[in-house]
Amino acid sequence: MWTISKLTFKEIVSKRIFMITIVMTLIFLALYGTAIYFAGKEGAEVGDGGQGTEAILLQQFVSSQLLGVGLYFSSFITALLAILSSVSTISGEVSSHQIDTWLMRPISRSQFVLGKFMGLAFLMIAYAVCLFFSIILLHQGIGTDWMALNLQPMQLIKAVSVFAIQPFVLIAFGLLLSTRMTTLNAGIVSIMLYGAAFIGGFIEQFGALVEKTSLVNIGIIMSLVFPIDSMYRKMTILLFDTADNPLSLAQGGMFTSISTPGNVMVWYAVLYGVVAVILAIYSFKNRDV
Amino acid sequence: MDVIQTNSLTKTYDGKGGISDVTLSVGEGIVYGFLGPNGSGKSTFVRTLLGLLQPTSGEGYILGEPIGTTKSREQVGYLPELFRYPDWLTGKQLLESHADLCKIPVRQRNKRIEEVIELVGMTGRDNGRISGFSKGMSQRIGLACAILNDPKVIFLDEPTSALDPIGRKDVRDLMVYLRDQGKTVFLNSHLLYEVESVCDHVSIVHQGEMIAQGPWRELMMTEAQVEIVTEGSISAPFPPFITDYQKGKAEEGRTRWVVQLETEKDIPKILHHLSSRHIDVYEVKPINPHLEDVFMHWVNRKKESAYVDNQ
């Protein structure tokens, strides 16, 4: 199993798309850092030296919004990379018959699927965690004291843990589709569900703001179908501590949360990923390759 | 002990194609030829034995272990027809990965890798990336993979499809070498000369059915042809075991004949027949049939029996 994990990890790293993603990520971080630097510099000069109520509200709004934007974009590119790398992991090898020489070795199909999952999950979670802390470090370090938010270590640990659930779920789901569908079909299904979860998340936030239960319920149902956006929302709650705060959406804009996914939703997402991996093993166990 | 054994093993795709009802036993230390035209189900059969395809019905065993289990694949090597290896690895890295999967002890790993690289003629080229390999080099590194774990049984599916004449000879020599080492080689091929030159036992498959199997020499004894040089003419009436004859050139009163007999066992009979008719015989030479002829004989025989069944 570890040999398959190792090979999967190395394969993704050796792909050109991964190198392109890393370069684009570095460019994004450089741009983000520049924006944070100037926003912090300009922001400190606005208001009553940062002492008045208006200045504090402005600082909170700009700072949390910029951190939210950075993390939302990080979540988006992590999701895309997780989808693109997982949907082809088995189907691609089946269609090229590359899988034949691996599967004829004395390893079981479940070890093969688990190996693939471990390799992908390790890489993508590592990428997500690095990206998360890069954004936090840039935001807190470059944006001057004016930009810095009061983030406690425990808050960060909890938030990054929930942030990492997103690639975990996406890889498990992509792998499941990859055991039965072609790469193209699995990619389309994953991206459409991701998009639906994204829209469902906004509808839920908007519903919570205007107190429309039906809109909130649509978002919750979408979160149950594909618990990706809800994990991002939960992460912002843990990071900004904005739950049940009527100002939170105004403070954080559309990139933080007002409707709170509970802890049960976190466990649901983890369980969702685990079940997807089990189904992938079951689905691949007896199929012809 | 039978290295490979199947009982009515069938693999069809939605009831069509594939291969049906194959019962065979393959002994130890032989090269077993699985011969048939493209699309006759040879690869399907091997892929079913290796657990890549689920059998529709029947059963099979490799080294006494039921097919589809990890144990049945512990001492097996395989070179697929559609060989494709991760092109981002080097040849050596590919072998190292397979050595990991085969649990070859780390101490023996490098030595074994060097051995197989030398055996397949890839010395000095194994550190290149597979993406830069020609088809022939990929097939050679695939062969190295197939024999890396010193398997007792090696499945080679059209192992010379991408090789030049020298490469083909190398592979034939390798098969003989493996047989001499006591290994069993299961050779899938549509190349008659390849099977003819190395196989001890042969199965002939056609349109998803096994139509004949047995030791190659016995399968060849379908019809016997002899070349006879006589003084004077052979004339009717002919005994029933002569099924056909052709008169060749006549020189200095001696005539050359090609006579078709029912079986090889009829050769002494024809000599007896000619001497009883006081015809002097100067030369009798059995003509070995070509594999093409043997193959077509069994295919036609199968078609005839199917026709009779339908009638």
pLDDT(A243) > 50: no
Taking residues B300-307, report their average pLDDT.
73
Name the helix (H) or strand (E) containing B270: helix B267-276
* B308 domain-assigned: no
Q: pLDDT, tens digit, for every residue of B59-71?
A: 999 999 999 999 9
Alpha-carbon distance A111 to nearest alpha carbon in chain B (angstroms): 11
What is the total count of domains within chain B?
Answer: 2
Interface predicted TM-score of the whole assembly (ipTM), two decimals:
0.80
Same domain, B91 and B131: yes
Which of B53, B70, B82 faces A288 most closely, judged by CB atoms?
B53
Same domain, B125 and B230: no
* B292 domain-assigned: no
Contact between chains at A106 and B101 (C-beta distance less than 8 A) = yes
Q: pLDDT, tens digit, for every residue of A129-186?
A: 999 999 999 988 876 777 777 788 888 999 999 999 999 999 999 999 999 999 999 9
Chain B CA closest to residue A7: B97
List the single range of A140-149, B73-82, B98-107 with lowest mean pLDDT: A140-149
Domain coverage including residue B181: 4-219
Q: pLDDT, tens digit, for every residue of A51-74?
A: 667 777 777 777 888 888 899 999
* B303 domain-assigned: no
pLDDT(A47) > 60: no
* B195 domain-assigned: yes
* B206 domain-assigned: yes
Same domain, B113 and B174: yes
Partners of residue B102 in chain A, C-beta under 8 Å? 105-106
Domain coverage including residue A104: 2-285
* B301 domain-assigned: no
Which of A104, A286, A288 faces B73 most closely, judged by CB atoms?
A104
Q: What pLDDT is recorded for position A250? A: 44
Which residues are CB-contacts of B211 (< 8 A; sequence separation ≥ 6)? B204, B205, B298, B299, B301, B302
pLDDT(A252) > 70: no
**Amino acid symbol at B299:** V
Using the Cβ of A16 and the Cβ atoms of chain B, whether some distance falls under 8 Å is answered with: no
Same domain, B63 and B121: yes
Q: Is the separation of the CB atoms in B27 and B2 below 8 Å?
A: yes
Using the Cβ of A154 and the Cβ atoms of chain B, whether some distance falls under 8 Å is answered with: no
The CATH number covering residue B247 comes to 3.30.70
Q: What pLDDT is recorded for position B232? A: 73
Contact between chains at A103 and B52 (C-beta distance less than 8 A) = yes
Q: What pLDDT is recorded for position B57? A: 95
Q: Is the separation of the CB atoms in A121 and A273 below 8 Å?
A: no
Same domain, B180 and B140: yes
Provide the token pair at B208: 């998803």
Same domain, B195 and B274: no
What's the whole-number average pLDDT of chain B?
A: 87
The CATH number covering residue B128 comes to 3.40.50.300
Residue A123 to residues A4, A116, A132, B28, Cα–Cα distance (Å):
13, 11, 14, 46
Using the Cβ of A18 and the Cβ atoms of chain B, whether some distance falls under 8 Å is answered with: no
Alpha-carbon distance B250 to nearest alpha carbon in chain A (angstroms): 60
* Sheet-wide strand order for B281-287: B242-251, B254-261, B224-231, B281-287
Alpha-carbon distance B160 to nearest alpha carbon in chain A (angstroms): 17
* B296 domain-assigned: no
Same domain, B90 and B238: no
Same domain, B196 and B232: no
Chain A CA closest to residue B79: A101
pLDDT(B126) > 80: yes
Same domain, B73 and B147: yes
Q: Hey, of A88, A100, A107, A108, which one would you mutate to test binding to chain B, going by the most B CBs within 10 A of its CB?
A: A100
Name the helix (H) or strand (E) containing B226: strand B224-231
Residue B137 to residues A229, B130, B132, B142, B155, Cα–Cα distance (Å):
48, 9, 9, 8, 19
pLDDT band at A49; cut points 50, 70, 90:
low
Same domain, B129 and B269: no
Contact between chains at B51 and A103 (C-beta distance less than 8 A) = yes
Q: pLDDT, tens digit, for every residue of B209-253?
A: 898 888 877 777 666 788 899 887 777 677 888 888 888 888 878
What is the total count of domains within chain A?
Answer: 1
Q: Hey, of B46, B49, B52, B83, which one would you mutate to test binding to chain A, going by the most A CBs within 10 A of its CB?
A: B52
- Given B203, B219, B235, the domain boundary residue is B219
* B299 domain-assigned: no
